[in-house]
Structure 1
Amino acid sequence: MLFAILCDDRDGGLETRLATRADHLAYLKSLGASLRFAGPFLGDDEKPVGSMLVVEAADEAGARALADADPYARAGLFAKVVVRRWNWTVNNPDAAA
């Protein structure tokens, strides 16, 4: 099952994000095929203000465990994290043509 993990940075979190970025990227790479795609949300100033990840997990608890283990989450970067079941219906490279 696919899950979207939607994260909002806490106010003033840019320093935390920058200091933890290398660990965050290493963690994402360690997820292998479980991570379908990821990237930051950007504010009007083009600086990151949050993150979106789409992961494959057996259930919501598994997806939440992946979110909780992210170095950004562990560093306290996020003010809010939402995990939602997601159905990739358009431009899904795994869907039959």
Structure 2
Amino acid sequence: MLFAFLCQDKPDALQVRMDTRPEHVAYLNDLNASGKLAFAGPFLGDDGKPTGSLVVVKAETIEEARQIAQNDPYAKAGLFASVDVKAWNWVFNNPEA
């Protein structure tokens, strides 16, 4: 089952994002290697700078997905003002469909 993480950065938290990015990328690479990452990337503001993240993972339950979200180094660093975890159905352009 797929779950989307809709993550909104705290205001003025760009430096936290940049400082934590290497650990975040390593975490996503590990998720990808384990087959749990579907895709991910930042939301961008009008100035082109990151304002949040969209991460889609494969998990058995929403509890597992929430645990994956909580273990993200960005979350642990306090980058996010909010994280919504939602079950998601990839209908169009799904390479696995």
Q: Normalised by the size of structure 1, how large is the TM-score? A: 0.97
Shift of 1:31: 0.6
User: What residue ranges of structure 2 are gaps of 5+ in the alignment?
Assistant: none
Specify the alignment match of 1:14 in structure 2: 14
Q: Choose from 50, 58, 67 the match for 1:56.
A: 58
Q: Which amino acid aligns with 1:70?
A: D
> C-alpha root-mean-square deviation of aligned residues, in Å?
0.4
1:31 aligned counterpart, secondary structure = helix
Shift of 1:73: 0.2
1:45 aligned counterpart, secondary structure = coil
Specify the alignment match of 2:87 in structure 1: 85
User: What residue ranges of structure 1 are gaps of 5+ in the alignment?
Assistant: none
Q: Distance between the aligned counterparts of 1:5 and 1:84, measured in 2?
A: 7
1:11 aligned counterpart, secondary structure = coil
- 1:11-34 CA distances to partner (integer Å, 9 max, x unpaired)? 111000000000000000001210
Shift of 1:57: 0.3
Runs of 4+ in 1 over 6 A off after TM superposition: none
Specify the alignment match of 1:74 in structure 2: 76
Q: Distance between the aligned counterparts of 1:45 and 1:59, measured in 2?
A: 36
Specify the alignment match of 2:39 in structure 1: 37
Aligned residue pair count: 95
Q: What is the percent sequence identity of the aligned residues?
A: 57
